[in-house]
Structure 1
């Protein structure tokens, strides 16, 4: 008996040494477990419709664990026709904590469903997306901007059926209906509720954020139109107190009393410009960064539960994988709220 155990241990050690040089396969597991390749394959792939005794299943799984076996993703993709990867295509925006929270929460929801989230930053003009579909064969794809007709066609040829958003809007860089319209709209609703009837939008001077800033401004414009107010004045505001003060001077001439800033950093620049001029205007930012509460005066802002948006997107993708028609209209209701402080 002792000799038999020693022999089996030697075989296992030999297999393990071989595995260090090459990938452990189901053939290795079958040899280690002393079972047929078919039985091992049924167990490792959890094949439905097979009556495998629990003792046999455990024997195979224990052998796989001893050898360090892991499923080979390309082979699994060939069997199922798709990978377990969900791809997020992100525009070339500066990636801050808001996007990180979104991606982290989406990854968690997808992981619970047995899927892996992969992100790809897509620079404008890059033609590498078609190669990406081919190499990853993702189960589903989500874009923070609508895909072009060419991109949609390349996904269709690659066999990717779960794609969000559906809409093909050539020339648009941002899927505004997903979240950015909601931010600007809530800013405008708050200021109008405070009695302001002439609003301005402070856009970022970072070129990569131009489309996103204008989409948020469009959310402000929509709410102004609903309230019977003129469209907001649009101005780019650098992160510089002197430059911000100059922009504020032009707004004063246009009768502006309330400002919807692209984000809290732009709002802080505006507050510095107002202090330099010795003036005050109502300012509301977005993102609720830590510095907002320490601003002078403390900054009113729109807080975004980007983690909840990430979970919402992930659940929509899971619905799409089941052949359902998910609803991606704006944020979930609880994802946006105003943090009221003293600046507006």
Structure 2
């Protein structure tokens, strides 16, 4: 294999093929404003670039603008479920329409300080699911990061307040006539960011509707332990359970079967996320789902607005959380 095969195609190669200067290639490829370039020249440059497989260097663009076209998303040490995966996929697509690239970094701050991560990338924006310290925000701002977005935490304005999910669950059970509810809390401490506000939403709905509960049980993904929780709920007069998510709800349904009960006649169960097994289990699982495409569109619009110095869009809470009616509740 020749040296030519390995050599990176440069703007000089495009300029030679198109018969223009390297400066003209740069203006065309970077869509530089206030440059008088004829349509025919622009077409010639783009055709040459396509024939050679040329794209501008991201490193050079970073040096020129002071930041990359990367949006860095910092994930905590979480299990990445279908909902988070869907949101990230939609966010990547939405940002790509604006010439931005989403880079996701999973892990926790003990593995590597976040300062080392964003300094290595020099992103246009940073999105995280947890709060930043005042010092972290100041450092990123001084480095030219246009936007720092905590999705959850003290300073966050999440696109989907998790309390709405808990309220939707409880409201469905209460409308169906249940007067004492339970809540199936997860045993994974890593997801407390989601679980606590969802439980608070169920508590608020019970209080506002003047129904009993929620009687809270920590439910592991173990059918025998779920069985014990179901027996305690049943003895306490609980007839409907809001589960943290669909996986926990499926464990509750397994516990219902082991207890010789049926859902929803003896214990109605409602989950969150609408994962594929929710449709396959018998009885099929009633659940609450979030429009992750709309969430991603909001986050993308927020990032693009900040980069361009425009006000952030309104948080689109209306109609994002939807009930999926099935057999279990």
Into which bin does the TM-score normalised by the smaller protein fall?
A: 0.7 to 0.9
- 1:337 corresponds to: 322
CA contact (8 A) 1:184 1:220 kept: yes
CA contact (8 A) 2:124 2:144 kept: no
Alpha-carbon distance in 1 for matches of 2:181, 2:158: 20
- 1:216 corresponds to: 198
CA contact (8 A) 1:178 1:328 kept: no
Matched, 1:22 2:7: yes
Q: Which moved more, 1:39-48 or 1:270-279?
A: 39-48
- 2:24 counterpart (16, 21, 39): 39
**C-alpha deviation, 1:284, in angstroms:** 0.8
Flag structure 1 segments of 5+ consecutive residues without an equivalent: 1-16
- 2:34 corresponds to: 49
- 2:245 corresponds to: 263
How many residues were matched structurally? 324
2:106 is paired with a residue of what secondary structure? Answer: strand
- 1:178 corresponds to: 160
2:319 is paired with a residue of what secondary structure? Answer: helix
CA contact (8 A) 1:103 1:307 kept: no
Alpha-carbon distance in 1 for matches of 2:312, 2:187: 35
Flag structure 2 segments of 5+ consecutive residues without an equivalent: none
- 1:321 counterpart (294, 302, 307): 307
**C-alpha deviation, 1:19, in angstroms:** 5.0
**C-alpha deviation, 1:197, in angstroms:** 3.3
Alpha-carbon distance in 2 for matches of 1:149, 1:200: 39
**C-alpha deviation, 1:103, in angstroms:** 1.3
**C-alpha deviation, 1:137, in angstroms:** 1.5
Structure that is richer in helix per residue: 1
TM-aligned CA distance change 1:255 to 1:113, over 3 Å = same
- 2:274 counterpart (261, 264, 288): 288
CA contact (8 A) 1:299 1:342 kept: yes
Alpha-carbon distance in 2 for matches of 1:316, 1:40: 31
- 1:193 counterpart (144, 152, 175): 175
TM-aligned CA distance change 1:281 to 1:166, over 3 Å = closer
**C-alpha deviation, 1:327, in angstroms:** 4.8
CA contact (8 A) 2:227 2:256 kept: yes
- 2:207 corresponds to: 225
TM-score between both structures, scaled by the size of structure 2? 0.86
CA contact (8 A) 1:88 1:117 kept: yes
**C-alpha deviation, 1:252, in angstroms:** 3.6
TM-aligned CA distance change 1:305 to 1:38, over 3 Å = closer
Alpha-carbon distance in 2 for matches of 1:158, 1:50: 29
CA contact (8 A) 1:298 1:343 kept: yes
Alpha-carbon distance in 1 for matches of 2:193, 2:151: 19
- 1:297 corresponds to: 283
